[in-house]
Amino acid sequence: MQDTARPMIAFALASSGCYVLNDLRDRAADQSHPRKRSRPIASGAVSPSAAKAWAAALLLAAALASALAAIQLLPDGGWRFAPRDRWTWLACTPCLLHGISPTLRPWSGR
């Protein structure tokens, strides 16, 4: 269970951070949309700077959770990167990058 839970947590955190960035990017359009204008960022309940900070925290937590997915705790209190878990950690990285790249594309000028 632990082998799958850690990568799932990392992916959920990365997805959440991307959703916040997406809401930031779509803020102006969402303000004029009848259903979306009540979303926290579009309505102004959450400021853009607070949303950026929250997105950064979520993405940092995702990166940390992804790295922790590769760490095996040892009985003596130490830790090491476990070969089996390393592949799980590496498998998370493309998911994180794929989730983040469409969100960052409009801000990159491309």
Look at residue 10 in the predicted model and tell me its pLDDT. 81
Look at residue 6 in the predicted model and tell me its pLDDT. 74
CA distance 2 to 86: 14
Look at residue 27 in the predicted model and tell me its pLDDT. 92
- Domain containing 97: what range? 2-108
The pTM assigned to this predicted structure is: 0.68
pLDDT in tens, 40-81: 999 999 999 999 999 999 989 988 887 777 666 666 666 666
As for how many domains the chain has, the answer is: 1
DSSP letters spanning 51-89: HHHHHHHHHHHHHHHHHHTTEEE-TTS-EEE-HHHHHHH
67: which 2 tokens? Answer: 């790295």
